[in-house]
Structure 1
């Protein structure tokens, strides 16, 4: 079947981006097109084996949210609330006039308020349990981000959090799409958020061998698909998309960045933290998402890959992409710029994929001097500088610990 099944699509009509590439859509897009990494030495990780990270630059929660709101929210929730406000404004939606019972929220998250929990447990273990905050539990619970976004925007439809590790943001967008197509909601705020750059969390990731040890040159540490990659740089961020049925978006004259035409998810059932060596689960997810969208493999012109900069992921993903798409799609990993924003990554990268379709540009994969020769299949990795050309069909792929795979197919707005 050739051509996109438009009736199954939903439109991206607004975005909020609060990431290491900047605050706001325009700042993010400029930074990822530049291919300049956001990684830097992190003062809050001083003394740790891995002391580099990708943080959101210049984020002031008090200025963004006000002191009364900011103090009661963990940073992962602060980022999402700001992103949600941006997205609604970008979509030109009036929260005072919408039917709040027909609006939903679904946000991906994995580690919750890890920094808050770590800090409060240290307080408890120091022998001063009376100093533990009464807000420790609501600040650290993963579901609270959806609850607080709903409270902030007075949304009365369904709200939930998807937790599929680093595929969580993509899972949230896929879930939101089904809510819209089923008629459960008319508007859904969907995306992902994570902020778990704490000594305890990063030590755990480092012990697993997941993080780059290139601490003497943080700007070059994240290098997806490169021959000398050695792990990812942990990042934080949030991406929230406003999704509406295409017909509804057109009827209200909304700008459409792109359409989410297809989605699928699979499980490897292989290993707790390692992907299937041949990427079979991801390949099945991508094929099913293409079928859902009514798109043939050779119609896919661009893939924003998971591309973590770890030796295992990039080889596995390359094999999966080649097995489905061959070598025709231009592949990039924007994690070279943003680092790995964990549960937010699938949503951040879906937003960048939508922007690639909207602007006709593919960001480069940062820091790649030479591709890994052990990648035994041909894929077209975009390096050096952005490629500017019209794009009609693109995909975004995500993988997560636990063997979670998710694939989104996006098309240019009709």
Structure 2
């Protein structure tokens, strides 16, 4: 294997890249070998597909247990996640149960990867914003009532790195294991972080993903910001009034050897415009999408579908629609899937990347199916026109090459854009193993 060095880059296998055409530099590619997912869409990939592309209803429910003064609509997993194995009970939080439910769906791939590369060559990078804080909140309530903490209180379960520590011990892996927490862009950023570990030669495979669980602390915080929707959120609508919080987990096996679905490009920017408001012109969002296109060596016309961050807050939808229109016009199908998942915060990047993954799986055979944009249909004339996915444009024709983009934007101006694709990497030979 020939190795080149670029200025500022770690060693990059020369043949582990994608031909970008036009004389552009060949870019490294990482491959996604397996997916496990739980969310309001379902408890596995099959249920998720049926909710996204079929007639299965997502579990968007109204509950009066999160806020003292009103009921709120949330995206909740339809079944209780299974308990952790007895030997891992010290890690027991709802967050880790959701993570375990998703991870157990790809154990065959995990075991095969360990057998191929070794446990020391496999890392873990996750995104979260809640970790086990709900259990901490419950313990504080117990303390106020009883004057002491409950017997099952475990402080480490609240730490932001707890999910990665749990998975490392559960799977017996020896590579780097850590958590990224940048609010709503957290688990989008794990894709570039995992790719860097592989490019640097530190790992041959990385378990990447995100997890967040419903808790009253988070919902109360967004309610204090007056950002919680009065009912089901309605992205891009003139009547949009806020978000629905959701929960879930999505976990991918990223490896350096070739698979059908590739990570072609990642864009990461920080515009630092405001602690909790995006730049009104979407300059950071647009720059992240452009950076992802540049890394992938693609043009905007190469993107077959774009999954919006689409929170249904007035400011986010305004800036994001402008940023998308600046780059793509109204020529790419777009939708927000948050009315079907809720805003899963630290897990949103991974869950919405999973939606791209599931859509791309059918691209070369029956053609990709796209998730419909769910809203009340009340157009906001202050927003640029976008090609929102509806019942008439939900199905793409079969194609040998298909690329899709997903946006994730967070408090503080932390922006991330991912491009997943099938077929595009076939123009170059992947790293032989």
**Taking structure 1 as the reference length, what is the TM-score of the superposition?**
0.89
Matched residues, number: 395
Query: Corresponding residue for 1:259?
Result: 262
Report how far residue 284 of structure 1 moved. 0.6
Higher relative contact order (Cα pairs below 8 Å, separated by 6+ residues): 1
SS in 1 for 2:112: coil
Report how far residue 43 of structure 1 moved. 5.6
Query: Corresponding residue for 2:248?
Result: 237
Query: Corresponding residue for 2:8?
Result: none
Query: Corresponding residue for 1:327?
Result: 330
Report how far residue 126 of structure 1 moved. 2.6
Report how far residue 189 of structure 1 moved. 0.6
Aligned positions of 1:53-202 closer than 5 A:
53-62=74-83, 65-67=84-86, 69=88, 72-89=91-108, 93=112, 95=114, 98-131=117-150, 133-135=152-154, 137-195=155-213, 197-202=214-219
Cα distance change of structure 1 residues 381 and 142 upon mapping to structure 2, 3 Å threshold: same
CA contact 1:366–1:384 (8 Å) conserved in 2: no
Question: Greater CA deviation, 353-362 or 282-291?
Answer: 353-362
SS in 2 for 1:23: coil
Q: Distance in 2 between matches of 1:370 and 1:130?
A: 50
2:204 is the alignment partner of 1:204? no
Report how far residue 309 of structure 1 moved. 1.4
Report how far residue 68 of structure 1 moved. 5.2
SS in 2 for 1:93: helix
Aligned positions of 1:284-323 closer than 5 A:
284-323=287-326
Cα distance change of structure 1 residues 385 and 212 upon mapping to structure 2, 3 Å threshold: farther
CA contact 1:13–1:91 (8 Å) conserved in 2: no
Cα distance change of structure 1 residues 316 and 46 upon mapping to structure 2, 3 Å threshold: closer
Q: Distance in 1 between matches of 2:118 and 2:183?
A: 32
Q: Distance in 1 between matches of 2:197 and 2:206?
A: 8
Aligned positions of 1:29-44 closer than 5 A:
29-34=49-54, 36-42=57-63, 44=65
Cα distance change of structure 1 residues 154 and 412 upon mapping to structure 2, 3 Å threshold: same
CA contact 2:88–2:170 (8 Å) conserved in 1: no
Report how far residue 275 of structure 1 moved. 0.6
Report how far residue 403 of structure 1 moved. 1.1
CA contact 1:210–1:231 (8 Å) conserved in 2: yes
Aligned with residue 375 of structure 2, among 367, 375, 378: 367
**Taking structure 2 as the reference length, what is the TM-score of the superposition?**
0.85
2:354 is the alignment partner of 1:351? yes
Cα distance change of structure 1 residues 88 and 293 upon mapping to structure 2, 3 Å threshold: farther
Report how far residue 106 of structure 1 moved. 0.2
Compare CA radii of gyration and give the structure with the larger one. 2
Query: Corresponding residue for 1:411?
Result: 421
Cα distance change of structure 1 residues 87 and 384 upon mapping to structure 2, 3 Å threshold: same
Aligned with residue 28 of structure 1, among 41, 45, 48: 48
Q: Distance in 2 between matches of 1:90 and 1:223?
A: 37
Q: Distance in 2 between matches of 1:398 and 1:53?
A: 19
Q: Distance in 2 between matches of 1:116 and 1:191?
A: 22
Q: Distance in 2 between matches of 1:130 and 1:395?
A: 46
2:406 is the alignment partner of 1:396? yes
- Structure 2: give runs of 5+ residues left out of the alignment: 1-19, 363-367, 427-433
CA contact 1:301–1:393 (8 Å) conserved in 2: yes
Post-superposition Cα deviations, 1:279-312, rounded to whole Å, max 9, x if no partner, equal: 0001111111111111112211211111111111
Q: Distance in 2 between matches of 1:300 and 1:16?
A: 25
Cα distance change of structure 1 residues 98 and 398 upon mapping to structure 2, 3 Å threshold: same
CA contact 2:136–2:153 (8 Å) conserved in 1: no
SS in 1 for 2:188: helix
Aligned with residue 394 of structure 2, among 374, 380, 387: 387
- Structure 1: give runs of 5+ residues left out of the alignment: 215-220, 250-254
Cα distance change of structure 1 residues 385 and 61 upon mapping to structure 2, 3 Å threshold: farther
Query: Corresponding residue for 1:217?
Result: none
Cα distance change of structure 1 residues 46 and 264 upon mapping to structure 2, 3 Å threshold: closer
CA contact 2:407–2:416 (8 Å) conserved in 1: yes
Report how far residue 69 of structure 1 moved. 3.4
2:233 is the alignment partner of 1:222? yes
Post-superposition Cα deviations, 1:349-375, rounded to whole Å, max 9, x if no partner, equal: 011112222221111012342332221
Report how far residue 94 of structure 1 moved. 5.4
Aligned with residue 385 of structure 2, among 378, 381, 387: 378
